[in-house]
Amino acid sequence: MREKKKLIAALLFSIVAIMFMGCSEDDSTSSDDNLATGTTDISVLADLFYHSDAVTFTFDDEWVTIRSKNLPDHKSMYYDENDDLYEAYDEPNNPDFFKNPGSIEEQNLEFKIPRYPAEASSKSSPSLGPMGVSINSISFFNQEAAGDDDIFEELNTFDQYEGHPAGTQYHYHIEPVWLTQDMTGADNEAFLGLLLDGFPVYGTHEDGVEITNDDLDDYHGHFGVTNDFPDGIYHYHVTEEYPWINGDAFYGNPGTITQ
C-alpha cells in the first residue's frame, strides 16, 4: 500500500509539472504572438511628435498616415542665411567638414505606416531616400549614399546636429543629436520616430546602458519593454556604430512613402 501511495504521488507531481511547463511556454510566446499577428497599436505614439507645425497625423483601422514638411526645428548652415534658423558651422572637432551643395526647403512627404506592425515573413531592405520619420518631422535615411558617393565621406557634410540635405530634403543617417542630447528635454533613451514598417526607433541607451550593435539583431533592433510599451514591442535603436539606425532590412512589412 505504501508503494502504491508513492506511485500515485509521483504521478500527480508529474502531471502538475507538465501543466506548469505548458503555462510557462504560453506566457513566453505571447510577445512573439503579438509580433506575428500585429496586435500592438502604435497610434499611441502620435502625441510624441512634438513639431506640430511640420507634422500631422490621420488614422484608419490599418494605417497611420503622417504628413511632414520635413523642416528641422534646430539651426543649420543649410538654411538660407536670412532664415532665423541659419547658423554657421562651428565644430572644431571636425576639421574635414565641407558643406554640400544642398539646402533646406519645405517638403510634402506622406508616410503610410502600418498601425499594427507585424514581423515580415520575407524581409525587404529600405530604398534610398526616406525610410522613416522622426518626432521633429525629419526623414530617416538608411546607411547608404547615393550613386558613387561614400557614406563615410558624407559624414563630413553633416551639420552640428548630424543632418544634411539631399537636394532640398534634409535628413538624418545617424543619431539625431538634437533629439538625444541638445534640445531642452533631450533624452538618449527616448522614442525618436518610426520606420516605414511601423516599429519605433529609440535612442542610444536603454535602462541607463549604452546600446551597441552586439545587443541588436541583423535589422538593428530587438524585442523589449519601453516607456511607451510596458508589455514590450520590437524596436530599433540608433547606435554610434555603422549602420546607425537600420540594418540589413526592415523587421516588419514596410508601408509607403509619397514625395
**pLDDT digit string, tens, across residues 66-77:** 999 999 999 999
Do both 5 and 42 map to the same domain? no
Question: Taking the model in full, what pTM does it have?
Answer: 0.85
Do both 46 and 20 map to the same domain? no
Please, what sign has the CA dihedral across residues 232, 52, 249, 171? negative
pLDDT at 140 > cutoff 60:
yes
Count of domains observed in the chain: 2
pLDDT at 254 > cutoff 60:
yes
State the residue range of the domain holding 6: 1-36
C-alpha span between 212 and 191 (Å, rounded): 17
Do both 76 and 180 map to the same domain? yes
The three-state secondary structure class of 212 is coil
Do both 26 and 76 map to the same domain? no
DSSP labels, 52-106: TTTEEEEE-SSEEEEEE----SS-BTTS-TTSTTB-----TT-TT----S-----
Q: How many CB atoms lie within 10 A of CB 24?
A: 10
pLDDT at 143 > cutoff 60:
yes
C-alpha span between 111 and 130 (Å, rounded): 9
